[in-house]
A and B are shown apart, each in its own frame.
Chain A
Amino acid sequence: MTTDITKNLKAALWVPGLPHVLKPEYNKAYAELGKAMEQAGRQLKEQGVERILYYSTQWISVLGHLYQAKKQLTGYHVDENWYDLIDLPFNFKIDVAFADKLAKAATAQGYQTKLVDYEGFPVDTGTITADRMLNQTGARSNMVSCCVYSDYADTVKLAGTIRAEIEADSVPTAVVIVSGLSGRWYTREIDFVDDGVSDAGDDKWNQKMIALFESGSYDNAEKLIGDYAGACKVDMGLKGLAFLKGVGALSAGRKAKCHAYGGIYGTGAAVMSF
């Protein structure tokens, strides 16, 4: 699916964060997205990935950035919207030492950071869903919050501190962005079988951006982010791309590959490797 990005960064993925992908029987797109995530997980296994670092747009922070640091993070999550779709028990092995390094590196660059080490911490739906599909070997995890006041450039810089730490140790690592594309939800009740991207314009925009990623035209894609985000209510303004840029996944010559694309309750969803 992908070649190594750097010595230790083995893969960079973009996956949707909605639990519908765990219900392949409900909709063809859910099944395809879920299958692509499982395939990506197998690829991580083949590449020998031992640590997965998640950046989910569903774990937001407002006073700086938070880094998950509870060694054995277990719990039982019920989504605030999709509470009757599926329950999500979770069990993460957090690389605490690495979380500490990441926080210190960011702090040294002027970011306000906090390590999070609390029983009962509510891991977000997206991270749990992604981990369930991708983490097929029980690899260690790390999680960084998505600070709503950290803009695109600031997020690139933050992710740069993470890149340096990934390279500074020897653990084969994958970075996973858990995020949607267009964010125009269906705001009415639909039958899951009828689900899809809710707006034809959003669908075109999503595919246009994916095509740019697949051609490696990241500079051009970045120039369109403002228009795209404004037109399609894009999840966190496509800030996940900034994170990928910061960790080095958008370097010249690297092309993304889209493994599956579809709609989840009207929003755009894709499984992409960079």
Chain B
Amino acid sequence: MPTSGQGRIIGGWLAPHPPHLVYGENPPQNEPKSRGGWESLRWAYENCRKRIKEQKPDVILVHSPHWQTVVGHHVTAVPKLEGLSVDPIFPHLFRYKFAMDVDVELAEAIHDEARSDGLIARKMTNPKFRVDYGTIVSLHMMNPDWDIPVVGISANNSPYFYDDNIGQEEMTKLGEATKRAIEKTGRRAVLAASNTLSHFHFNREPNPELPEDMSKEHVFSQSQYEWDVRVIDLMRAGKTKELMAILPQFMREAFAEVKAGSLTWMLSAMGFPEIPATMHGYGTVIGTGNAVVEWDLESRR
């Protein structure tokens, strides 16, 4: 694994993972085909792809709510993962042939740092493991060429099992361990928090004959939309402390998926940067609120 001197995190992305985004794009890896849809988010991801190509990171790390683990925090730690990932919830939209190279050295370092910090951590070494669609969608939307190694990190269910405070404390420690591992292994890393914002959604498919019918797509509720805007505004203003302070309320009132800890993990790894984030796009998917947001840590060097 090539390294680029002193390891550091060069950027972080709020990288939501609705499978609808891949479905709307029609990449060769995904079997179902569409007439498009959810362009505002897909165009936002184009900016991300461009930045990734410019930055040429050594690795992309993604924390996914759809790899939910009961006992501790797990990392993918097998050199190659490949197969067919069919989303059990939206199988008509997402049947994706994936192949990814894993940065095992970094994964093992994260595992070791997490354990040294008192967290329970485990290395997933089964080569037949089916990677979850959250991980795949975020990574595909960021880098569809899959030419950069990755590390997948599970979402430990502590935020759901205990309470928001304990869960987010765990994610904060995991972020710190991730940062140390990146520094020690000398990687230039990009992080991805695979989270939707507000997460109440429709309970029926609006148009089963045409899932990409954008005339049926809208925010779930005005209050949920206003919550998303409030959170995004704090990100844009670089008010990270304020953002962290209102996250528990956001989770409760908007059923926000950030409860799974991905955003907290990423912000913690980046040292809760008080820098303005760049908002690339916002859109709803079956009513949920999604934003593609960038924290460019190189800009402050």
Q: Which residues of A contact B (CB under 8 A)?
A: 59-64, 66, 76-78, 80-81, 83-84, 87, 112, 114, 116, 118-122, 124, 149, 185-189, 233, 265
Do the beta carbons of B128 and A78 come within 8 Å of each other? Answer: yes
In the complex with contacts A78-B129, A78-B130, A114-B208, A83-B124 CB distance below 8 A:
yes
Q: Who on chain A is nearest to B96 by CB?
A: A120
Interface-side segment among B68-76, B261-269, B291-299: B68-76
Chain B residue nearest to A148 (CB atoms) is B203
Q: Does B286 contact A (CB under 8 A)?
A: yes
Give Cα A187–Cα B68 distance, bound, in whole angstroms.
12
CB closest residue in chain B, given A63 = B205
Of A64, A80, A81, the residue contacting B204 (CB under 8 A) is: A64
In the complex, the answer to whether B286 meets A63 with C-beta atoms within 8 Å is: yes
Contact B128 A189, beta carbon cutoff 8 Å? no
Number of contact residues on B: which range applies? 35 or more
For the complex of A and B, 5 pairs with smallest distance between CB atoms: A120-B84, A149-B203, A83-B126, A63-B205, A120-B86
Which residues on the A side are within 8 Å of B132 (C-beta)?
A: 80
Q: Do A63 and B203 contact each other (CB < 8 Å), given the known contacts A78-B128, A87-B128, A112-B208? A: yes
Residues of B within 8 A of A185 (CB): 70-71, 161
Interface string of B186-216 (1 = CB under 8 A from A): 0000000000000001111100100000000
With most chain A CB atoms within 10 A of its CB, the pick from B92, B132, B154 is: B92
**Knowing A63-B203, A78-B126 touch, does A265 contact B70 (C-beta < 8 A)?**
yes
Q: Does B286 lie within 8 Å of A122, measured CB to CB?
A: no
Asked if A112 meets B91 with Cβ closer than 8 Å, knowing A78-B129, A189-B71, the reply is no
Provide the bound-state CA to CA distance between A10 and B75, in Å. 45
Asked whether any CB of chain A lies closer than 8 Å to the CB of B8, the reply is no
Residues of B near A62 (CB, < 8 A) are: 89, 201, 203
Q: Note all chain A residues with C-beta closer than 8 A to B205.
A: 63-64, 112
Q: Is B17 an interface residue (CB 8 A)?
A: no
User: C-beta contact mask, B114-139 vs A, less than 8 Å → 1, else 0?
Assistant: 00000010001110111010000000
Q: List B contacts of A87 (CB < 8 A).
A: 126, 128
Contact B89 A61 (CB under 8 A): yes
Query: Are A122 and B130 neighbours in the complex by a CB distance under 8 Å?
Result: yes
Picked from A80, A81, A83, A121, the residue with its CB within 8 Å of the CB of B91 is: A121
Interface residues of B (CB under 8 A from A): 67-72, 83-86, 88-92, 95, 120, 124-126, 128-130, 132, 154, 157-158, 161, 201-205, 208, 286
How distant is A158 from chain B, measured CB to nearest CB, in Å? 14
26 contacts between A and B (CB under 8 A): A63-B203, A63-B204, A77-B130, A80-B67, A80-B69, A80-B154, A81-B70, A83-B124, A83-B129, A87-B126, A87-B128, A112-B204, A114-B208, A116-B91, A118-B86, A119-B84, A122-B130, A124-B88, A185-B70, A186-B71, A187-B120, A187-B161, A189-B71, A233-B161, A265-B70, A265-B71
**CB nearest neighbor in B for A122:** B88
In the complex, what residues of A have CB within 8 A of residue B69's CB? 80-81
Q: List 8 additional A-B contacts (Cβ < 8 Å) besides A118-B95, A119-B95, A120-B84.
A: A63-B203, A77-B130, A80-B129, A80-B154, A120-B86, A122-B130, A124-B88, A149-B203
- Alpha-carbon gap, A265 to B125, bound state (A): 21
Residues of B within 8 A of A80 (CB): 67-69, 129, 132, 154
Q: Which residue of A lies closest to B133 (CB)?
A: A122
Which residue of A is nearest B205, CB measured? A63
Give the distance in Å from the alpha carbon of A223 to the alpha carbon of B72 in the complex: 35
Query: What is the bound-complex CA distance between A124 and B95, given in angstroms?
Result: 16
Chain A residue numbers with a CB within 8 Å of B201 are 62
Complex Cα distance, B241 from A157, in Å, reads: 48
What chain B residues lie within 8 Å of A59 (beta carbons)?
A: 88
Known: A77-B130, A81-B70. A63 touches B88 (CB 8 A): no
The reply to whether B71 and A188 form a contact with Cβ atoms under 8 Å apart is yes
Whether the Cβ atoms of A189 and B72 lie closer than 8 Å is yes
Taking CB atoms, residues of chain A closer than 8 Å to B124 are: 83
Bound form: Cα–Cα A215–B32 in Å: 50
A121, B208: Cα distance in complex, Å: 19
Q: Would you give the shortest CB distance from B209 to chain A, in whole angstroms? A: 12
A172 to B281, CA, bound (A): 55
Instruction: Identify the closest chain A residue to B90 (Cβ).
Output: A63
A114/B84 in contact, CB under 8 A: no
